[in-house]
Structure formats: structure tokens, C-alpha cells
Structure 1
Amino acid sequence: MYAQIAILQPLSAALQSPAWTSLNRPARRHFVGGFLLEAEALAHFNQLLVRLHHFPLDCDQLATASRELGRSVDGQRPASIEQRLQLASAVDRMITDATWQPASEAVEPARVVMDYVHGDHDLIPDSVPLVGRLDDAILIDAAWPQLAGEVDCYLDYCRLRAIEAGLRGREVGGFAFTREHWQQARRAEAGLIAHCRRVGEDSYLPSPAAACFRVY
């Protein structure tokens, strides 16, 4: 599942601390892939980061990160950005699936991220080579601690809904399958797994009878 990706490749060390530019590095860079970052757009972006309980960033951090990520990737979008866009896709599915009722604490961060991803007022234009989605990736990174558990639940819901559809011989979406149905299916699946483990550890034969068998 997306929430269980073993290791998310880091975006850039330049983005890891709000004090990064204070360490004898003047905030002088303002270009990302040749695009000049606008102060108003950065202020709006930082407001979103704060709403997601993340510290704000400055132009120098973003420009330095873009230079690091755009280095030696053979014309391909950096894997660290691509991973986070996959997470964004999962979040999008979760909040647009009419049959799923997201936990209340996940709704706000999911909306913040997806409104930005689908909006027209990017901090960094998507057309910028290699790092045009860096701003989207940063927002996903900021929101992920609040979204990971709920996205994991939703993807498991999709898995069990697909199994239920197969058992019924129906199309996914052709029958009622709510969050409550998913929870019931999870409990049933957990019970079946526990039963199979017990059977695997035990014998159907009483222990005295086992002594009657010999291998020659």
C-alpha cells in the first residue's frame, strides 16, 4: 500500500529545517529551473504549509532543493517527487470516492493538498523541467503524517471491496460497501487468518494416536 512504502526518498536536505539558510548561507537564490519565484505565490504556499503544521520555506531553500533534485536524473522526474505524486493520487481517490467516509481529521489536510495540486496558482509551474512538481511534493510531504493512516485504511477498503465484488460476481460499485462493511470484513478476515494459524500449529489427530504411526 502507498502508506506502507518502506522508504520515501528524501526530497532535499535544504528543505529539512527552517533554520537551514541561517548557517552562513545568505538567502540569495530565487530561481527554480530558470523560473523566478514570486513573493506573493511563496507567501500563499507558506500559509498552506503552516495549515499543515509545517514550517515555512524561503526562496533559497526551494532553489537549492531544485538544483539538487535536478542533478543527474537523465531527463526523468526525480524518484522522490514521483513517489509523492503517487501518494497524491491515492489521496485524490480517497476523497472523491463517494462510498468512503474519511475520518474527520484527514479531510482538511486532504482538501488543502488536492485543491493546490488541481489548482491553477502553482508556486512552481508544472512545465518547469524535472522539478515542476516539487511544490506539490512538498505539500504532500507536509500533510502525509496526518494522512498516512487514513489512506492506508482506504486502500485496504478498496482491496476488500474488490474481493467482495468477486465473491458476489458483481462490479465494484454495484453493491453497498461502506466503511462499516469494510470494518466487518476486516474482522472476519482477521478471524479467518487466526483460525488458519491455529489449525496449522495443531493436529487433527489426538496425540496418543500419533504414536501408532511409524515410518520404515
Structure 2
Amino acid sequence: MRHDAPLPAGQALPLRGAPAGPGATPVPLAPAAIAAFNDLLHELHPDAPHVDQAALASMARWLDGLPVHEAEALLQARLGRLEELRRMCEDPDWQLEPALARRIRRLLDYVEQTRDLIPDDLPRLGRLDDALLVELAWPMIADELEDFRDFCRFRDENGGHADRERWLRTRLEEGALWEQLHRVRNQHYVDYGPLEGGLRVV
């Protein structure tokens, strides 16, 4: 069964088939910058879709046609997740696998640039490329971030003292216990075999 890719927020941005309004593209899109964006995107998440000029132009017109507060909320719903990523990267008790740590830092570095695919100071649209990169790269982050959230809960439950190894060992032990209890509930304690000769009332 195919599952949809995890998303950082609600419904996916309309990369394909955005209901774009009429008019020219409200943002300059240099082919070399689009190519660099795709190179970074596929470095972060090799299975991400390719982003072309037509899709970006359509999305820009779509976003530009939304009410200001709605457009800002859509972008912030994605960009607001970055603080949690920074906390995960900086947490001394949660040692990230080095390759994943490098990819997350590459994502954070891009978002912090002001002169990237779409300049950040462009009214209304300046953070569209940042939000889109977060969303399309999210599948490479989602499982790790979910584990980190669970680790933070575990650490809080243990007085703020825990590391990743202890968290993992405890969760594995809990999983083994759950499997044992599940097996016990679904089996008879004694198997007497079939009754021979049926029941006889004396």
C-alpha cells in the first residue's frame, strides 16, 4: 500500500495545478537559480519531485492572489517548524546520524539566506521558496523528528536526565513487553486437544 509523504503542515502546497490567477509571474525566476534549488532539494531528499519554472510561476501567482493573512499563515505553518529542527540539531542528548545532521543544516542554511531563489525581501512571495523547500524535503526529516519528540517526553518523565541510548533501550523493552502480552492474550494456557467421544451425561 502506498502512503502519502509526510507533510510539515496540513494540506500540501499546490506544486502542480495551482489555481493561478491571470497575469505575469510576480517574481523573477532565473533558470540557474531554479537548477541550484533542485540540486539542493535532491541532495536533501533524492525522491522529491522536480521543481520547474512553470510550477514555481503558477504557485507564485496563486499565493499572490490569496488574502495577505492567509498567504502568510500558509508560509509560516511550514517555516515555523524550523525552530524544532534547530533544537533537535543542538540538543546534546540527541546525537543525530552525521549524514542526516548535514542535510538538516543545509536546509537551515538555505532558509537563512536572504538572496536565494526568491529574494526574502520581495513582498508576500519572498519566503515561498523557503517554505516549499521545507515541505518537499520533509520526508527525510519526519521520522527523526517524531522520535525526537518522543525522546523529549521521555526525558521530561525522567527528571530531565536521559540520553538517546537510554530512550531507545527503554522503548525496545516496552515493545518486547507489549508483544509478549499480545501473544499471551491470544493463546490458551493449556491445549487439551479435541474431545474424544463427545460429551456424555451420566
The corresponding residue for 1:153 is 147
- After superposition, residues 41-80 of structure 1 pair within 5 angstroms as 41-51=33-43, 52-53=45-46, 54-80=48-74
Q: Does 1:92 align with 2:77?
A: no
Which stretches in structure 1 are left out of the alignment for 5+ residues? 17-27, 166-171, 202-216
Mapped to 2, the partners of 1:132 and 1:185 lie a distance apart of: 45
Cα offset, 1:149, TM superposition: 0.3
CA separation in 1, counterparts of 2:176 and 2:100? 28
Aligned length: 172
Distance between the aligned counterparts of 2:8 and 2:138, measured in 1? 14
* Counterpart residue identity of residue 150, structure 2: D
**Partner Cα distance (1:70, 1:42) in 2:** 19
Quote the Cα distance in structure 1 between the aligned partners of 2:60 and 2:170. Answer: 45
Judged with a 3 Å threshold, the aligned counterparts in structure 2 of structure 1 residues 70 and 164 are, in CA distance, closer, same or farther, namely farther
The answer to whether the Cα contact below 8 Å between 2:68 and 2:124 also exists between their aligned partners in 1 is no
| Structure 2 CA distance for partners of 1:183 and 1:107, relative to 1, 3 Å | same
Identify if the C-alpha distance between structure 1 residues 15 and 101 changes in structure 2 by more than 3 Å, giving closer, same or farther: farther
CA positional deviation for 1:42: 2.3
Residues 42-96 of structure 1 deviation map (CA, whole Å, 9 limit, x = unaligned)? 2321211232223432333212102212323343444432222133222222112
User: What CA RMSD, in Å, does the superposition of the two structures yield over aligned residues?
Assistant: 3.4
> How far apart are 1:126 and its partner, in Å?
2.2
What's the CA shift string for 1:155-194, capped at 9, x where partnerless?
11112212222xxxxxx4xx5x2111222443576689x6
For residues 130 and 8 of structure 2, the distance between their equivalents in structure 1, rounded to whole angstroms, comes to 21
1:88–1:114 contact (8 Å) kept in structure 2: yes
Structure 1 segments of 4+ aligned residues over 4 angstroms from their partners = 3-7, 187-192
Give secondary structure in 1 for the equivalent of 2:141: helix
Counterparts of 1:54-203 in structure 2 under 5 Å? 54-104=48-98, 106-165=100-159, 172=160, 175=161, 177-187=162-172
> TM-score, structure 1 length as denominator?
0.64
The unaligned stretches of length 5 or more in structure 2 are 186-202
Cα distance change of structure 1 residues 84 and 108 upon mapping to structure 2, 3 Å threshold: same
Amino acid at match of 1:14: R
What amino acid does structure 2 have at the position aligned with 1:44?
A: A
Match of 2:192 in 1: none
Q: Letter of the 2:167 partner, please give it.
A: W
Q: Structure 2: how far apart are the matches of 1:153 and 1:4?
A: 14
Structure 1 pair 15/113, CA: closer, same or farther in 2 (3 Å)? farther
Q: What is residue 38 of structure 1 aligned with on the other side?
A: 30
Aligned to 2:10: 8
**Is the contact between residue 114 and residue 121 of structure 2 (CA under 8 Å) also seen in structure 1?**
no
SS at match of 2:122: coil
Deviation string, structure 1 residues 81-122 (Cα, Å, up to 9, x no partner): 222213322222211222211235532431221121123432
